[in-house]
Amino acid sequence: MRLKKIKPAHLKTLVLLILLPTAGAATADTLDFTQAVQRALSQNPDILIAGTQIGQAEAAVRQSEGARLPKLAVSVNVTRTDDALNAFGLKLSQRSATFNDFGAGEFNPANPNVLNIAPRDLNHPDPVNNFNTRLEAQLPLYTGGMIEGYNEQARAYLRAARQGDTLARQKVIFDVLRAYEGVHTARAYADVARQARHATESYVKTIDNLVKGGVVVKSDLLSARVHLEDVKVQQTQADNAVQQALDQLHLLLGMPLSEPLDVAADVEVHPLEGKLADYQAEALKSNPGLAALRNQLDAAQAAIKVARAGKYPQAGLLARFDTNDNSVGFDAHSYTLGGQVSWQLFDGGVVSGAIQRAQAGRDEIAARLNQAENGIAYQVADAWRRADEAQRRVMARELAVSQAGEAQRLVDKRYASGVTTITELLGAQAQLDKARADLVAARYDLKVQRANARLAIGRLQPDQL
């Protein structure tokens, strides 16, 4: 057998047809649900904000813990003065004071008024330069609970920030689930639209043959063609909805709209097994939003402890090493050791006001926590009921599709036999299309409501669906 020689133009076209699907697949970024979640979590603004809040809280903990440790400071001061008191004191610090600094040269024992003479060198000294280098250490011994209160407050805020990060992550997962499944749902709608168009095109072809055979009137063909145009519009809308769903997923994942993106298999969200009351109790313990509020309540309680510290004494130690010289140097050394206890006995109600303010802040958070607990219990129950309704709706819509399909088949036969009208035929097809679309919507709603229930409980993770 002789093979026909392929023309160069035909060969080029064949190669393009072979490579085109491969090229398209290589450029598209197909993500499964877990990959989509990971990508969203890595660049979602809410997650980035939660991360910075954790960083701030960790820094606050380190700051509060540092307050327990000694503080060591070094300073260098340069002074030039002719103030009598300071000039004499600086000379003493430099270990350079002399009798002449007291005006000894002006002292005359023979003068009966000598004690009334004001020594010029003492009252009007020449300017004195002083270079002071100081190393000072301070250690708090007792602060009335202030340092401990700040540390407790910082640690509570850190726990709250971490719970806030968990809550933000679960909300992002929920948003990704809706967007990801939104793409599948839009494609399911587009598939329904394609089925409707295929069926309507088949009607037009059949009715056209019946018109040519004189079985039906031409108005039936016109009605079928009008209906076909409507179906084409609906298909265009469905195809646009697919692209819109992909665009929304692009935005959620932080991807440019020009970057090719596709989704892998749809997500199966399993129902929660057990009793509603058990899941409500779990939500009260595990919901990260509630946990964050409880930690904020702990921080508010610690703030009261900080405010009350003002009613107690403060005690600390001091160690200081100084050098003083009239030029740059370290000639005259001195040290100072000391301890201090101070207790503010009256402040006009400042501390009492601070305590009352802190207590009011704690009461506010406690009220918000109580409100949130009631809200979470309601959210779990509402999502539970909605998921059950969605499950029943899916079953009903599946039955409706089956019944509408059978009704459409019977009406099609009746129309072919001339027993019914084109209106009833197209109406039966429209009813089937609606039943299919309603089933698509019910299945999407079922997944969303099941995920919403898990979000309210606090267990929405890709590996827990």
**Token digits for 246?**
């992909």
**Cα 76 → chain centroid:** 47
The pLDDT value given to residue 4: 43
- The answer for 224, left when phi > 0, alpha when psi is -120 to 50, beta otherwise, is alpha
Q: Which domains does the chain have, with CATH numbers?
A: 30-67+146-314+347-464 (1.20.1600.10), 71-143+315-342 (no CATH)
Alpha-helix residue ranges (DSSP H) falling in 257-349: 276-286, 288-308
User: For 230-251, how does the pLDDT look when each residue is reduced to its tens digit (9 = 90+)?
Assistant: 889 988 998 999 999 999 998 8
Average pLDDT of the chain, as a whole number: 87
Is pLDDT above 50 for 316? yes
- Is the alpha carbon torsion for 51, 53, 58, 63 positive or negative? positive
- Is the alpha carbon torsion for 386, 388, 391, 396 positive or negative? negative
Inter-CA distances, 212 with 205, 294, 413, Å: 11, 79, 19
Is pLDDT above 70 for 22? no
Give the whole-angstrom CA distance, residue 426 versus residue 254.
Answer: 44
User: For 352-395, how does the pLDDT look when each residue is reduced to its tens digit (9 = 90+)?
Assistant: 999 999 999 999 999 999 999 999 999 999 999 999 999 999 99
Single pTM value for the model? 0.75
The pLDDT value given to residue 11: 40
Give the whole-angstrom CA distance, residue 37 versus residue 298.
Answer: 32
The pLDDT value given to residue 309: 92
Largest CA distance in the chain: 156
Burial class (CB in 10 A: 0-12, 13-18, 19+), 238: buried
